[in-house]
């Protein structure tokens, strides 16, 4: 059975082959419903070196590269306080005890981090937000929670509809890295404004919902208690959610101090968009790009 795609991400050395796809006449499945033309795109990675692009093909305008590694860039954009609370320290200790596991999760995020961080920087948001998918999904774009959340940002169906992510027979926008990242950053920015600039409350609302956080705030106000994150009666998952992010920040900020080795990760773009002009069989795309179908599925959940 032919598997048709609308948007593709490819591994780093495939840019030459993927660019050639734009010059091909793409076959269509006569039994397939027509896609929205806006989705007839695939996302191909920028090559690790420009010479991997054929001489007769233009260098993609989206080519982007910066000095150093992605971790240095992340540290530069950190905005949260660096002080570790006791609850955050618990998670630092846990991450340290499972350092190989956390390193594997971070490595899994390699195709996505450069793009996510770039969008965060463009908005002037805290770089710590780029680490949220570690907690939400372990950077697994295929993961679905028992409650129905999906994608690396773990949008629930109702929230996905609220933020305008497309969900139909062909597409689940929650698994579209580009669309879901934009939606997540829009939503987080909205929550931060809603909670008077308090990022910890915004993150709590992202996890537990605004209504639950507002209810906890009203309860504390009625009892004369503080209404910051650390004093609110929130669900256990949410009480751990924010400290986990703070713990991750501490580890990225100073991995040596926590005896954790971060995976080597270049500060360079992993993918770029390539127009296909129509539907494309996944197997054909893999052959043209010189990569495996498994890799295409990983990059195009």
Mean pLDDT of 247-251: 97
**Is 295 part of the annotated catalytic residue set?**
no
Q: Which of 10-24, 58-72, 202-216 has the highest mean pLDDT?
A: 202-216
Chosen CATH of 69-267 out of 3.50.50.60, 3.40.50.150, 1.10.530.10, 3.30.70.3340:
1.10.530.10
Per the model's pLDDT, the better-predicted residue between 98 and 68 turns out to be: 98
Whole-number pLDDT of residue 198:
98
Domain limits, the chain? 1-64+269-301, 69-267
Instruction: Tell me the sheet residues that pair with 273.
Output: 43
Q: Which of 15-19, 231-235, 256-260 has the highest mean pLDDT?
A: 231-235
Mean pLDDT of 160-168: 89
Task: Give 20's pLDDT tier (boundaries 50, 70, 90).
Answer: very low
Whole-number pLDDT of residue 59:
33
Q: Is the pLDDT reported for residue 35 higher than 70?
A: no
pLDDT in tens, 116-159: 999 999 999 999 999 999 999 999 998 899 999 999 999 999 99
Is residue 207 classed exposed, middle or buried when 0-12, 13-18 and 19+ CB atoms within 10 A define those classes? buried
Among the options 34, 121, 136, 275, which is catalytic? Answer: 136
- The DSSP result for 203-263, as a single string, is HHHHHH-HHHHHHHHHHHHHTT---SGGGS---HHHHHHHHHHHHHHHHHH-TGGGT-PPP
Whole-number pLDDT of residue 279:
73
In 3D, which of 245, 243, 247, 266 has the Cα closest to residue 128?
A: 245
């Amino acid at each position: 059975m032919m598997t048709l795609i609308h948007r593709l991400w490819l591994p780093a050395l495939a840019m030459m082959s993927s660019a050639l796809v734009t010059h091909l006449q793409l076959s269509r499945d006569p039994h397939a419903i027509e896609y929205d033309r806006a989705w007839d795109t695939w996302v191909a990675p920028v090559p690790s070196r420009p010479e991997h692009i054929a001489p007769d093909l233009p260098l993609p305008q989206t080519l982007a590269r910066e000095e150093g590694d992605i971790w240095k860039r992340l540290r530069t954009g950190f905005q949260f306080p660096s002080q570790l609370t006791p609850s955050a320290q618990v998670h630092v200790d846990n991450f340290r005890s499972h350092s190989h596991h956390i390193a594997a999760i971070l490595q899994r995020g390699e195709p996505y981090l450069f793009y996510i961080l770039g969008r965060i920087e463009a908005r002037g948001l805290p770089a710590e937000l780029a680490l949220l998918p570690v907690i939400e999904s372990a950077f697994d774009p295929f993961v679905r929670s028992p409650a129905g959340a999906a994608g690396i940002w773990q949008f629930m169906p109702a929230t996905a509809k609220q933020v305008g992510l497309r969900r139909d027979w062909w597409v689940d926008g929650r698994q579209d890295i580009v669309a879901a990242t934009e939606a997540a950053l829009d939503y987080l920015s909205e929550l931060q404004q809603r909670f008077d600039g308090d990022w910890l409350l915004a993150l709590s609302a992202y996890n537990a919902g605004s209504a639950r956080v507002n209810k906890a705030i009203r309860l504390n106000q009625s009892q004369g208690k503080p209404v910051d994150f650390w004093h609110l009666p929130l669900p256990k998952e949410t009480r751990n959610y924010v400290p986990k992010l703070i713990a991750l920040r501490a580890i990225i900020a100073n991995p040596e101090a926590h005896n954790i080795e971060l995976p080597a990760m270049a500060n360079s773009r992993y993918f770029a968009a390539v127009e296909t002009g129509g539907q494309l069989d996944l197997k054909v795309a893999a052959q043209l790009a010189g990569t495996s179908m498994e890799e295409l599925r990983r990059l195009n959940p």
